[in-house]
C-alpha cells in the first residue's frame, strides 16, 4: 500500500489538466486537511497508514494519521460483517451457502492433501484445513497470506502456498461474489440493493458538502477523505466481476469542477494491489443521464461524468425494499430466523438485529424497547382513554402540552429582550448557533 500511495502522489503531481493538483500532496502531512476512517482492525489500520505514508512520503517525515474507527460489530459503514442482511442471511442459509463454496474448493483442489500441506506450511490449525466444512475458511486465510507474501516479495516463505496462489484467488473470488455480490437479475439483490451503497452514499454526501460556498459552516474543507473498509463498494460503482478478490483494491474518486462553467464532475480510477497502478476503469458505465441512458465517459485517465449522472448510477443499485442494504431480509429468511415475535429476543443474533434494525425486526403493531431488546405492542391512544372522564383528561393534557409549547416559544424571545433592557442573566441562551455538521 505504500507503493500504491507513492503512485497516487505521482499521479496527481503530474496531472496538468487538474489545476493545483501538483501541490495537493506535498511532503508535509496536514492532519486538518485529511480525514481517514478505517475499520477497527489492526491490519486494515496499518494499510491505511501505509497508503498515506506513500502519498506524503519524505525522508524525514513520519506519518501518524488520525484514524476514526468504530467497533467492527457496530460499524455498518465500513464493515459488511456488521450488516445483519449479510450475516443473518448466510447463517440461516448456511447449508446451501457452504455447499456452493465447498464445491469451488473441491474443483480447485481435488486433492485435499494439498490444502492440508499449505496450512501446515504456514502454521494454520490442521483441523481447519482438513475438515470439509472448514476448508473454505482455511483457503481464505491462505489467500490473504499469499497476497501479503507477494506484496512483500517474500514468495520463498511459503513455496507451496505461492505455487497455488491462482487457485486460492479463485476460491476467494467465489466467496466474495456469492456473499457480497450484486446482480440486478436476482430478486433478492434487487430488493436489498448493493451492499456497497451505504458507503457510496457517504461519499456523495461529502461531495455535496464540498460544493457548498466558502464560509458555509457545513462546507467540507478536506482535501482528501480516505476510507479503509471491508465493504463491496465496487458493486455500487458497477464493478462486480466473478473473479475479483478485493484485497488491496483502491478506488480513486475525485470531485472536479470546470472553472469555465462551475459544473461539477466525478472522476473514477481503479487499481488492485496485484495489477499495478490506477488506470482507466474499464467496467460498466458509471454515468446515467436524466433519461436513464448510460453515457460513455471512459477517458485516458479514468472515467469522468457529471456529478448528477454519477449520482444516478450509484443510486441505480439501491434496493426496492425500504429496509435498505444493511437490514433487508427476504421473507423466507425472516421466517426461519424467528426474530419477528413479541417479547424477548430468542437469540443473541436476534437482539443484535433488533438493535440495528428496529423498524424491521419487530412484528406489525409492535415497537422495539431499547431497554431489554424486546418487542412490545404499540400503545394506541384509543386503548388508553377508554371512558368519558379519561377522554376529557386526555384531551386536556394534549391541549395543555400544545399550548405550553407555544407559550415557551414566544416566552423565550421576550425574556431575551428583557435581559437586554434590565441586564438580567440566565433567562435565555445568548449567541447560540444551530448548524448541521456533515458526517466525516
Phi, psi angles (nearest 5°) of residue 238 = 85, 15
Listed in order, strand segments (DSSP E) in 117-223 are none
Return the top range by mean pLDDT from 286-295, 349-358, 395-404: 349-358
Q: Does residue 36 fall inside a structural domain? A: yes
Share of the chain above pLDDT 70, in %: 79
Provide CB contacts within 8 A for 403, sequence distance 6+: none
Residue 287 near residue 297, CB atoms below 8 Å: yes
210: which 3 cell numbers? 464540498
Q: Does residue 183 fall inside a structural domain? A: no
Interval 27-51: pLDDT, tens: 678 888 888 888 888 878 888 888 8
Mean predicted confidence (pLDDT) in 103-121: 93
Among 119-123, 385-389, 417-421, the minimum mean pLDDT is found in 417-421
User: What per-residue confidence (pLDDT) applies to 398?
Assistant: 40
> Residue 437 pLDDT > 60, yes or no?
no
Task: Tell whether 306 and 203 lie within a shared domain.
Answer: yes
* Domain that residue 270 falls in: 2-77+191-315
pLDDT band, very low/low/confident/very high, at 58 (cuts 50, 70, 90) = low
Task: Tell whether 199 and 283 lie within a shared domain.
Answer: yes
Distance between CA atoms of 293 and 303, rounded to whole angstroms?
16
Interval 146-175: pLDDT, tens: 888 887 777 788 899 999 999 999 999 999
Task: Tell whether 234 and 299 lie within a shared domain.
Answer: yes
Query: Comparing 424 with 346, which gets the higher pLDDT?
Result: 346
Task: Tell whether 333 and 304 lie within a shared domain.
Answer: no
Q: Does residue 49 fall inside a structural domain? A: yes
Tell me 21's DSSP state: G
Task: Tell whether 245 and 376 lie within a shared domain.
Answer: no
Q: Does residue 177 fall inside a structural domain? A: no
Neighbours of 114 (CB within 10 A): 16
Run of H or E including 333: helix 331-337
Q: What is the pTM (predicted TM-score) of this model?
A: 0.78
Among 103-107, 209-213, 320-324, 396-400, the minimum mean pLDDT is found in 396-400
Neighbours of 101 (CB within 10 A): 19
> Residue 414 pLDDT > 50, yes or no?
no
Distance between CA atoms of 381 and 391, rounded to whole angstroms?
10
Task: Tell whether 334 and 377 lie within a shared domain.
Answer: yes
User: What per-residue confidence (pLDDT) applies to 417?
Assistant: 33
Task: Tell whether 294 and 374 lie within a shared domain.
Answer: no
Mean predicted confidence (pLDDT) in 167-191: 90
- Closest by CA to 22, choosing from 7, 33, 11, 6, is 11
User: What is the number of structural domains in the chain?
Assistant: 3
Task: Tell whether 203 and 297 lie within a shared domain.
Answer: yes
User: What per-residue confidence (pLDDT) applies to 364?
Assistant: 86
C-alpha distances in Å from residue 176, one per residue of 45, 98, 106, 158, 232: 21, 13, 17, 24, 9
Angle formed by the axes of helices 307-315 and 197-210, nearest 10°: 160
- Closest by CA to 373, choosing from 348, 347, 351, is 351
Task: Tell whether 46 and 13 lie within a shared domain.
Answer: yes
Query: Comparing 179 with 414, which gets the higher pLDDT?
Result: 179
Task: Tell whether 273 and 372 lie within a shared domain.
Answer: no
Amino acid at each position: 500500500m505504500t507503493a500504491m500511495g507513492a503512485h497516487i502522489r505521482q499521479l496527481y503531481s503530474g496531472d496538468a489538466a487538474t489545476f493545483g493538483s501538483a501541490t495537493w500532496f506535498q511532503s508535509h502531512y496536514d492532519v486538518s486537511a485529511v480525514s481517514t476512517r478505517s475499520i477497527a482492525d489492526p491490519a486494515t489500520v496499518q494499510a491505511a497508514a501505509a497508503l498515506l505514508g506513500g502519498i506524503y512520503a519524505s525522508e524525514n517525515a513520519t506519518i501518524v494519521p488520525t484514524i476514526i474507527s468504530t467497533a467492527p460489530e457496530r460499524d455498518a459503514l465500513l464493515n459488511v460483517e456488521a450488516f445483519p442482511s449479510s450475516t443473518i442471511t448466510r447463517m440461516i442459509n448456511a447449508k446451501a451457502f457452504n455447499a456452493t463454496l465447498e464445491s469451488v474448493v473441491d474443483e480447485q483442489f481435488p486433492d485435499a492433501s494439498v490444502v492440508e500441506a499449505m496450512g501446515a506450511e504456514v502454521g494454520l490449525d490442521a483441523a481447519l484445513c482438513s475438515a470439509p466444512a472448514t476448508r473454505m475458511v482455511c483457503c481464505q486465510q491462505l489467500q490473504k497470506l499469499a497476497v501479503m507474501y507477494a506484496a512483500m516479495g517474500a514468495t520463498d516463505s511459503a513455496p507451496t502456498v505461492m505455487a497455488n496462489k491462482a487457485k486460492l484467488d479463485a476460491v476467494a473470488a467465489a466467496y466474495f461474489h456469492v456473499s457480497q455480490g450484486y446482480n440486478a437479475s436476482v430478486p433478492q439483490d434487487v430488493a436489498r440493493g448493493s451492499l456497497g451503497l451505504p458507503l457510496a452514499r457517504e461519499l456523495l454526501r461529502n461531495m455535496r458538502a464540498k460544493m457548498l460556498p466558502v464560509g458555509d459552516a457545513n462546507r467540507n474543507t478536506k482535501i482528501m477523505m480516505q476510507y479503509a473498509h471491508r465493504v463491496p463498494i465496487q458493486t455500487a460503482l458497477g464493478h462486480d466481476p466473478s473473479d475479483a478478490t478485493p484485497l488491496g483494491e483502491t478506488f480513486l474518486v475525485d470531485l472536479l469542477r470546470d472553472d469555465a462553467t462551475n459544473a461539477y464532475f466525478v472522476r473514477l480510477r481503479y487499481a488492485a494491489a496485484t495489477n499495478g497502478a490506477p488506470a482507466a476503469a474499464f467496467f460498466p458505465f458509471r454515468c446515467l443521464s436524466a433519461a436513464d441512458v448510460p453515457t460513455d465517459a471512459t477517458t485516458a485517465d479514468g472515467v469522468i461524468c457529471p456529478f448528477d449522472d454519477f449520482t444516478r448510477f450509484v443510486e441505480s443499485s439501491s434496493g426496492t425494499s425500504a429496509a435498505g442494504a444493511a437490514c433487508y431480509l427476504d421473507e423466507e429468511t425472516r421466517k426461519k430466523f424467528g426474530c419477528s415475535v413479541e417479547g424477548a429476543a430468542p437469540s443473541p443474533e436476534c437482539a443484535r438485529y433488533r438493535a440495528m434494525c428496529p423498524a424491521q425486526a419487530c412484528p406489525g403493531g409492535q415497537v422495539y424497547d431499547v431497554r431489554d431488546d424486546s418487542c412490545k405492542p404499540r400503545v394506541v391512544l384509543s386503548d388508553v382513554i377508554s371512558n368519558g372522564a379519561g377522554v376529557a383528561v386526555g384531551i386536556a393534557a394534549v391541549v395543555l402540552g400544545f399550548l405550553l409549547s407555544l407559550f415557551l416559544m414566544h416566552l423565550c424571545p421576550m425574556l431575551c429582550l428583557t435581559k437586554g433592557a434590565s441586564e438580567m442573566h440566565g433567562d435565555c441562551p445568548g449567541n447560540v448557533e444551530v448548524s448541521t455538521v456533515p458526517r466525516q
